[in-house]
Structure 1
């Protein structure tokens, strides 16, 4: 069972894990999230795209180090059977991406995500997909098609998405979240992410961890 633990002070885990009435509200929210599969639009966000998905603008939000929420910890089982716990990863930066195979902007951004994941892996950057809809065969076919080099966990129950929403609102699939070395949310992109944007966001967070000089 996949879940995100939220151990930070002052933030409670959502009641969806404990109370039936909250489960009803959560299911409604998850339906909105899935319905919001976003296609990138350079301007005029909010229009309804021809294919029936609610359009998104690839909007970017960043947080300064002192203003970040977290830490974020994701656990679960990847589609290949690998047990995932992001606390076990020796990562300078973690990139989370929500997706499912039939989502057009997810397919459009997949080659860029795969390329940047390989490009930045030597710098200690780790990627993790969160699949909100698919069974393993469908998800693995997507991963093979786009040569995705990083794991994804299944979240058809919606628990990972629900608890991430307690830290950083996702609002649409796909959404990409950049997490700093301390597990705090540094940036979020709603909708299809451009390669140059992803590179810039990750490199900016990596630079925060670099030595600033000789200490003099």
Structure 2
């Protein structure tokens, strides 16, 4: 009698877990529909990646950086792009900064571009953050929310920080919601860089 109850309990738990996993994968899709081969971890820093046929885009993000220079991801087609939303007083943004800097430096010669998107800070706060963490890549002043709006129709930005990896065609390869853990982002970047440019 006891073993029968235990088996039923285990079976019910397994079915519930399976249904939760299917729901989570559907919620991770940029278009709101289920994707195949999507990776998902239900915790802060969760990520979703898409196989070539399921990728949305291309995405084009442009704006003016804090040094006054124009930045446009369209200029980087053929390379891999990492977009990262952040602001100076954001604790997880500060925690992930060193990993983003390392990744930007380590893969720059292999065709990686990193672009920050800051929708909160004025130039003083943003530039102080960039000096503190020795950030080698530009960040655009997105207080008008134009860059985030360009992303929203393709890959929703649900939190700050959010990190989006674009493939060489400018399509959404992966998204990390919350703090980007260094080894996770590094693995996604390496996978995107390894893809056939054609």
TM-score, structure 1 normalization = 0.70
**Preserved contact between residue 168 and residue 197 of structure 2 (Cα < 8 Å):** no
**Runs of 4+ residues over 2 Å off in structure 1:** none
Q: CA RMSD in A?
A: 1.6
- Whole-angstrom CA distance in 1 between matches of 2:144 and 2:186: 31
The structure 1 residue matched to 2:139, chosen from 133, 152, 168, is 152
The structure 2 residue matched to 1:165, chosen from 152, 157, 172, is 152
Indicate yes or no: 2:166 matched with 1:179. Answer: yes
Cα distance, 1:91 vs structure 2: 4.8
Which structure: greater helix fraction?
A: 2
Cα distance, 1:136 vs structure 2: 0.6
Indicate yes or no: 2:173 matched with 1:191. Answer: no
- Whole-angstrom CA distance in 1 between matches of 2:49 and 2:42: 21
1:116-138 Cα offsets, whole Å, 9 max, x none, are 10000010100000001000111
Larger deviation: 200-209 or 86-95?
Answer: 86-95
Cα distance, 1:160 vs structure 2: 1.4
- Whole-angstrom CA distance in 2 between matches of 1:62 and 1:202: 11
The corresponding residue for 1:50 is none
Cα distance, 1:85 vs structure 2: 1.5
Per the alignment, do residues 196 and 135 of structure 1 end up closer, same or farther by CA in structure 2, a change over 3 Å counting? same
**Preserved contact between residue 91 and residue 125 of structure 1 (Cα < 8 Å):** no
Computing the radius of gyration from Cα coordinates, the structure with the larger value is 2
The corresponding residue for 1:207 is 194
TM-score, structure 2 normalization = 0.76
The corresponding residue for 1:138 is 125
Unaligned runs of 5+ in 2: 1-40
Unaligned runs of 5+ in 1: 1-42, 46-56, 212-216
The corresponding residue for 1:127 is 114
Aligned length: 158
The corresponding residue for 1:52 is none
